[in-house]
Amino acid sequence: MATKGINRLTPYMFMAPAAIIMGIALLYPLGYMVYGSFRDWNPSQTIGESEFVGLKNYITLFYDPAFRESLSVTLTFAFAVVFAELLLGVGLALLLDRNIRGMSILRTLFILPMMIAPVVVGLMWRYMYHPTVGTFNRFLESIGLEGVDWLGQHALMSVIIADVWQWTPFIFILSLAALQSLPRSALEAARIDGATPWQQIIHIKLPLMMPVLIVTALLRLIDAFKVLEVILVMTEGGPGLSTEIVALRISRTATEFRELGTAAAMSNYLLILLLLLTLSMFAVTKLQEARAARLARQIQEED
Amino acid sequence: MSYERQNPAFYALLVALIFMAVGPIVLMFANSFKLDVDIISGTSGLLFLPTIQNYETALCDVLWYEPDHIDFCALKFGGAFINSLIIALVSTALTLVIGCMAAYALVRFRFMGRDTASLTTLMVRMVPPAVLLVPVFGLWNNEFCIGKTTWLGSLIRESLGGRGDVCLAGTHSGIILVYVAMNLPFVIWILQSFIVQVPRSLEEAARVDGAGPFQVFFKVVLPLIKPGLAAAAIFTFRIAWNEYLLASALSDRDTKTVPILIVNNMSEFNVEWGVIMATGMLLAIPPIIFTLFASRQIITGMTAGAVKG
Amino acid sequence: MLTTLKRAALGATTAIVMAGAALANPYADYAGTTLVVNFPAHPHYNAVMKILPEFTKETGIEVEVDQLPYLKMRERQTLELAQDEGDYDLIAYVVFSKADYVYADQLENLARYFMNPKLADPNYDADDLIDGYVYNIGFAGGNKGYLEGKTGSLFGVPYGSETSILGYRKDIFEKHGLEVPETYEEMLDIACKIPELEPGMGGLSSRAASGHHASHAFLLHLAPLGGRVFDDNWNPIVNNAAGVQAAEALKQIVDCGPEGATSFGFGEALGSFLAGDTAMFLDTTVVAGQINDPARSQVVGKVGWAMHPMGTRRGSQTGGFGIGIPKNAEHKEAAFLLMQWLTSKAGDKMVALAGGNPSRFSTHADADVNAKFPHMATFGEALKHADPDWRPIIPVWGKINADLGTTLSKVLTEDLDIQTALDGVAERTKAVMDEAGYYTWQ
């Protein structure tokens, strides 16, 4: 009897520390944020001293052109980086999926950028983009071209390039792993049937990699919404609002404009957006899994 | 194992790729040994007289001698480095132990609320740190406090000094708590896929020998998922080590971490490229070492994290 | 632990000194105290860091400095000052924080300290402090709430006073026979001539980056060109003719400026002047030290100084920092002693010699200071024309400033029409002011 009781409690005992910590420092704060988003609240007040204003913060934000702009910057940034990284990462993986000496060293060097602090990545690129001192403009000038106003006129593009530099390896490594775990038999069969490398890629490799690719892309997409430090260090959101992603706007609203309520409402908008993305990720994964299973079965049957 | 021979263009591409991946880091490394005048004038290119002056400026608070070129120690990088180390190491250790236990429960037991727990874990993984900024700032500063007149509060104030109510904000524990919470979902997620692979028969054998559930977990399961633990540890450490936003909202002058120091040092009056590059390099060194020595674990971890939807 | 030991040791020393001399040392009661102060990372306060050991030696009061970039410093203070008991005993605050802090009742009124015979130094000579700065930085509650006026009183003392000044490359001006500009027209004209005369060189380097920087650069031109942000009834008038003219001036300066000027913060703008990429620099006086520092500057000895050019009037900026005592400080009296020591005649001179910006008339006229820094005389002259009302210091300014700065940045980078842009700013400002209650009495 006693042992049975212990057995039933065991999983809860294993779960308890994680549940408590996530409850205190993740779920409760999220609830607190929702509560705060209905209040006119500044950093010198405790939340109890603040005034209840209903949906005012949400409505103001909805009609606030600056917030809308930063929302569109965020979406542009997130989708642009994921698209570019996917293209480059998968392309490189297909190209480098060969049995060559030094592949592991190559992979090691490739993951260096993504292990380095975003703050450091930001300052490295800020230096390289510097209009006069920076590496790029110096190079352009040395070959007789005119310098580019990287962080001025083309700030969003420059920020995207920096992120692509940092995160393409992520997609590359995952696609490479996916490629190398493809069923050899299917590829072998295709080769015997006389499929060209291109046909192999389009008809066999890509469809089989698809589930992994979609998950990877969605993971990157969610991560792209978390980017903050790189942009903060490189441009601080400028010029204008051209690189002011929502995460940065939240932090500015909270610290610079001292409007915690509005910042909380903004966080909520961002959270809802991400929630929708995550849900679609679930749905797509499930769908893809089913399709991939069917596909794998088909190939096996053809064997 | 035989290697395929490739044509030269392929190797040229490889070299170009490596150059692109590592170039900026090498550039930062080189610049950290240059004087500002050399960086700005740029005429010297790769030929320059290396100086450790930038590192001396950065580390002035832990050096045993006083460098000649600075009048006072403004940066205090050493202290921040120690704060970063404490916070990153402690939070990584805690996250691993706690996350591992939770992952084990989710994989091995059927219990009420399991699905909810599993789903919640997955969902909170997407929460960006920026979203936590406002609530964490409010809670850690105002709500998660012990009054200084209470028994515990006065005890802390008397032994550790400081003023006002004892709050989580401004302490190492405050930052560690957020980091553990932030990293847990990821760690739980990634470790599940490793625990699934542990053969049940081993655990049952141990149980037959009279081991309790915790003994089974610590003596049988943990050693078997070492590669997973290593991968999870590296990723957790990386986030805790590199994070800026929440740390900057929660730390005070004694608990600043290195990323805060670097961002602060890019103040508008002195863009001292040399010193900034030196601090950046110092912050980047631990992750670089990890990468060079444990790249296999990192790749395993990444793959496990993504493949398991 | 170490500090406790130190404290104990110091306490013992002072006890011995007191027993031995038993003289009236005003600092004796506070020797051994450790003050925690919050200063910005700023050239003037870097100079202060150099003279602080002197204070400790003289008084036995230890000082622990938390130095932060000034915008960060403001964030930190927002939080610290709101606590019941704060960490900081003395803070340096940016001019525009004055309104927030005083309005939230977070700074000590200094009357109590200057009245206290045990604390106030009879030789302090407050009349020697530059009037404009005392009113601009330290005074609150006067006309419009932030200017000199009968209802105001003192909450801080100016420390690290800045005004705007024009730096120009003597060698370049000589080479092309250019006259040092006296008026805005001449300055803008030369600014756009330089890129033609000296290919690759920009005319004037100005800050222009989104936010505070762009707003600051715009306001710098607004006052001399005869404009204001508000009229006397708090109606926004940034979009009148003078406002448009100021924005046009800014745009012209950036267009004829060095490469990448649209993303320049203060650091980049100064950096480009230091690197010899621009012929002129119009901003705060605080840069003099760096321009003469061969480790950072390639234009040492080539820079001449002139007054901020005239538009319809002289109106250089007033800016910089003041120091004040937070209401929630632990060692208020010792903090006052430090504040008094730093801003005294001797302290002001010492910090000027260390490369700081003096806040006293006497220091600007001082022979030693002028011998070391020949530009000090021009700076002193410029101070006389400093305009305390070039920027409104009201609690809602932060929000208006941010809006103004981002909108102007759009003008500079996205070719937004100037009149439309400023009309938008005026409209949003009006709403902000209305919400804050500025039109209650109309």
pLDDT tens for residues C102-143?
988 899 999 999 998 888 888 898 888 888 888 888 888 888
Q: What residues of chain A lie within 8 A of the CB of C407, using their CB?
A: 240
Question: Does C267 contact B270 at a Cβ distance shorter than 8 Å?
Answer: yes
What is the mean predicted confidence (pLDDT) over C20-48? Answer: 81
Of C46, C85, C295, the CB nearest to B36: C295
Subunits with at least 3 CB pairs below 8 A relative to chain C? A, B
pLDDT score of C252: 92
pLDDT score of C2: 44
Please check the confidence at residue C429 and state whether its pLDDT lies above 90: yes
Task: Identify whether B6 is part of a domain.
Answer: no
Please check the confidence at residue C243 and state whether its pLDDT lies above 90: yes
Quote the CA–CA distance of A258 and A264 in Å, as a whole number. Answer: 12
**pLDDT 10s digits, B169-197:** 878 888 999 999 988 988 888 888 888 88
pLDDT score of B305: 66
pLDDT score of C14: 46
pLDDT score of B308: 46
C396-399: long-range contacts (C-beta < 8 A, 24 or more apart)?
A: C396/C432, C396/C433, C396/C436, C397/C96, C397/C99, C398/A256, C398/A257, C398/A258, C398/C96, C398/C100, C399/A257, C399/C432
Domain hosting residue B252, numbered range: 77-307
Quote the CA–CA distance of B306 and B303 in Å, as a whole number. Answer: 5
Question: Does A151 contact C260 at a Cβ distance shorter than 8 Å?
Answer: yes
Question: Does C75 contact A256 at a Cβ distance shorter than 8 Å?
Answer: yes
Question: According to the per-residue pLDDT averaged within each range, which of A5-14, C35-44, C257-266, C295-304 is highest?
Answer: C35-44
Question: Does B267 contact C295 at a Cβ distance shorter than 8 Å?
Answer: no
Please check the confidence at residue C244 and state whether its pLDDT lies above 80: yes
Please check the confidence at residue C227 and state whether its pLDDT lies above 70: yes
Contacting C residues, span 81-140, partner chain B, CB-CB under 8 Å: 83-87
Identity of residue C8 = A
Domains of chain A: 67-302 (1.10.3720.10)
Contact status of C5 with chain B (Cβ, < 8 Å):
no
Q: How many domains does chain B have?
A: 1
Subunits with at least 3 CB pairs below 8 A relative to chain B? A, C
Quick count: other Cβ atoms within 10 Å of Cβ C71?
17
Question: Does C85 contact B164 at a Cβ distance shorter than 8 Å?
Answer: yes
* Shortest alpha-carbon distance between residue C374 and chain A (Å): 31
Task: Identify whether B231 is part of a domain.
Answer: yes
Of A45, A131, A240, the CB nearest to C260: A131
Here the CATH number for the domain that contains residue B259 is 1.10.3720.10
CATH classification of C163-317+389-436 is 3.40.50.150, yes or no? no
pLDDT score of C109: 93
Q: Which residue of A has its CA nearest to B302?
A: A174
pLDDT score of C426: 94
Please check the confidence at residue C90 and state whether its pLDDT lies above 90: yes
Q: Where are the domains of chain C?
A: 2-162+319-384, 163-317+389-436
Confidence of residue C341 (pLDDT cuts 50, 70, 90): very high
pLDDT score of B2: 52
Question: Does B270 contact C274 at a Cβ distance shorter than 8 Å?
Answer: no
* Shortest alpha-carbon distance between residue A206 and chain C (Å): 41
Secondary structure (H, E, C), chain C:
CHHHHHHHHHHHHHHHHHHHHCCCCCCHHHCCCEEEEEEECCHHHHHHHHHHHHHHHHHCCEEEEEEECHHHHHHHHHHHHHCCCCCCCEEEEECCHHHHHHHCCCECCCHHHHHCCCCCCCCCCHHHECHHHHHHHHEECCHHHCCCCCCCEECCEEEEEEEEEEEEEHHHHHHCCCCCCCEHHHHHHHHHHHHHHCCCCEEEECCCCCCHHHHHHHHHHHCCCCCCCECCCCCECCCCHHHHHHHHHHHHHHHCCCCCHHHCCHHHHHHHHHCCCEEEEEEEHHHHHHHCCCCCCCCCCCEEEEECCECCCCCECEEEEEEECECCCCCHHHHHHHHHHHHCHHHHHHHHHCCCCCCEHHHHHCHHHHHHCCCHHHHHHHHHCECCCCCCCCCCHHHHHHHHHHHHHHHHHHCCCHHHHHHHHHHHHHHHHHHHCCCCCC
Question: Does B177 contact A127 at a Cβ distance shorter than 8 Å?
Answer: no
Average model confidence (pLDDT) for chain C?
A: 85
pLDDT score of C381: 81
| Of A129-133, B205-209, C369-373, the least confident | A129-133
What is the percent of chain C where pLDDT is above 70?
94
Which residues lie closer than 8 Å to B188 by C-beta, 6 or more apart?
A18, B99, B102, B103, B106, B121
Please check the confidence at residue B51 and state whether its pLDDT lies above 90: no
* Shortest alpha-carbon distance between residue C72 and chain A (Å): 9
Q: Which helix (H) or strand (E) holds A51?
A: strand A51-52
Contact status of C365 with chain B (Cβ, < 8 Å):
no
Q: What residues of chain B lie within 8 A of the CB of A232, using their CB?
A: 244, 263
Quote the CA–CA distance of C207 and C264 in Å, as a whole number. Answer: 5
Q: What is the pLDDT along chain A (303 residues), one digit of tens a residue?
A: 344 445 778 888 888 888 899 888 888 999 988 998 998 887 777 777 888 888 888 988 888 888 888 899 999 999 999 999 999 998 888 888 777 777 778 888 888 888 888 999 998 898 888 877 788 888 888 887 777 778 777 888 999 999 999 988 888 888 888 888 777 787 788 888 877 888 888 887 888 888 778 878 888 888 888 888 888 888 877 676 788 889 888 988 887 777 888 899 999 999 998 888 878 877 877 787 787 778 777 776 665
pLDDT score of C20: 42
* Shortest alpha-carbon distance between residue A302 and chain B (Å): 26
pLDDT score of B269: 58
Of B165, B252, B271, the CB nearest to C267: B271
Architecture of domain C2-162+319-384: 3-Layer(aba) Sandwich (3.40)
Quick count: other Cβ atoms within 10 Å of Cβ A280?
12
Confidence of residue C247 (pLDDT cuts 50, 70, 90): very high
**pLDDT 10s digits, C200-211:** 888 998 888 877
Q: Match 């250019």 to its residue by tokens.
A: C178
Which residues lie closer than 8 Å to C399 by C-beta, 6 or more apart?
A257, C432
Contact status of C331 with chain B (Cβ, < 8 Å):
no
What is the mean predicted confidence (pLDDT) over C20-36? Answer: 75
What is the mean predicted confidence (pLDDT) over B36-45? Answer: 67
Q: Which helix (H) or strand (E) holds A60?
A: helix A56-62
pLDDT score of A84: 94
* Shortest alpha-carbon distance between residue C123 and chain B (Å): 30
Please check the confidence at residue B267 and state whether its pLDDT lies above 60: yes
Which residues lie closer than 8 Å to B273 by C-beta, 6 or more apart?
A127, A133, B31, B36, B39, B40
Rg of chain A on CA atoms, in Å = 24
pLDDT score of A66: 82
Question: According to the per-residue pLDDT averaged within each range, which of A129-143, B86-100, C55-69, C305-319 is highest?
Answer: B86-100
